[in-house]
Structure 1
């Protein structure tokens, strides 16, 4: 172990902020290189490097020099943070693609205009909070979790409103309810 490594470890254990500066000076370039190789995006790599240093600071009490060299520990945190950022980015882009391509009537021949107008008229008779839930789940094609996030509601509240909306639709027009369900399947 080099003198600078020992010094950085001591500073980390003492929660001295100079440790992060020294880590940055000594290890930022190789860590950035690893992160960039994983993310393949310079902006993301810069953000991940910063997040890595924050994690190092917060997890400094966990580091044990007997288990791993300092760079190995730093490398592992950087690698895991980069992989997490990639997964998060992929989930976000998948969600955006799905939302953009959703359409309740992708095939206009699937439901005729009369039925569509009847469905809209019946749904418009519902309370606004029920209409919003039906529109996000059935017409925008969101999952329950996505709809809850979109409407800024707890998941349980969203499910209760959905159940109540469907009950109310049944009472408004049992025949219409059957049409809606058959169109959505």
Structure 2
């Protein structure tokens, strides 16, 4: 079944097509969510919420505005960031368990591993180091542009311009 056929069935609210969609994309979306939240149970919960949002909001997907995978990736990333910024998440993470620190030490959290989760490592590696760092902060760590500005110690306007330029450069690599 092609992606177009799959989407056609999902628009019709076909349960089998939705199961196929879940099988196709759940691991990639979970990777993005987990890289932001760093918590297995919360990531699984957010993943389920993401698929409910996809199911309920499929009519808002517009093919002319971008690829389907990009659309569901943004839903996942935004849901994870929303969870990360929620009051409940902040309260639960005040006293981190030692398991969290072991996980941090055991796993390399570099941008290379994060981007490999969605299969674009080769494209990101072609970018300038400043773009790699900015993409890591904004898209994989869930920073706002203001937070990235503070982290990188550069003006907010510069972050916005560099982000736009880096995304345009990445787009050119993906179109080849």
TM-score after normalising by structure 1: 0.46
Larger radius of gyration: 1
